[in-house]
């Protein structure tokens, strides 16, 4: 019985952590940005099919590579990216019109 409880606690803590960040460490040599993050199609009115993670930097929206909309829980939930614009700490580069994330962490409210 104790092993089941331990397994359940490890399982829950793994998913709770995975829903806040999709990368491991901040690169001290890159600038850390605070951006708006959401579904590009549902919230930022970007053209595309389906629901895709996007960030808005200095008023311009970019689809995100290296991080997925479902990495942070149910995109269609109450606070999911399709229904809410969230704040995130990010690092990365804009390449060919997309934001290639090397660090992506949601800021909790």
Residues 104, 74: Cα–Cα separation, whole Å: 17
3-state secondary structure of 80: coil
Residues 13, 17: Cα–Cα separation, whole Å: 6
Question: In terms of C-beta density within 10 A (0-12 exposed, 13-18 middle, 19 or more buried), how is residue 109 classed?
Answer: exposed
Compute φ and ψ for 30, nearest 5 degrees.
-115, 150
Check residue 25 and give its pLDDT. Answer: 81
pTM equals: 0.77
Q: Over 70: is that where the pLDDT of 2 sits?
A: no
Which CATH number applies to 2-106? Answer: 2.40.50
Q: Note the pLDDT tens digit of each residue in 48-100.
A: 999 999 999 999 999 999 999 999 999 999 999 999 999 999 999 999 999 99
Q: What is the mean pLDDT of residues 2-20?
A: 46
Residues in the chain, total: 109
Instruction: Delimit the domains of the chain by residue range.
Output: 2-106
């Amino acid at each position: 019985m104790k092993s089941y409880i331990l397994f359940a606690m490890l399982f829950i803590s793994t998913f709770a952590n995975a829903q806040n960040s999709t990368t491991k460490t901040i690169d001290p040599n890159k600038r850390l940005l605070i951006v708006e993050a959401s579904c590009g199609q549902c919230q930022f009115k970007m053209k595309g099919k389906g629901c895709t993670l996007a960030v808005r930097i200095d008023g311009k929206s970019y689809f995100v590579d290296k991080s997925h909309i479902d990495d942070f829980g149910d995109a269609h939930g109450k606070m999911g990216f399709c229904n809410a614009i969230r704040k995130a700490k990010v690092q990365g580069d804009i390449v060919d019109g997309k934001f290639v994330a090397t660090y992506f962490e949601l800021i909790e409210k």
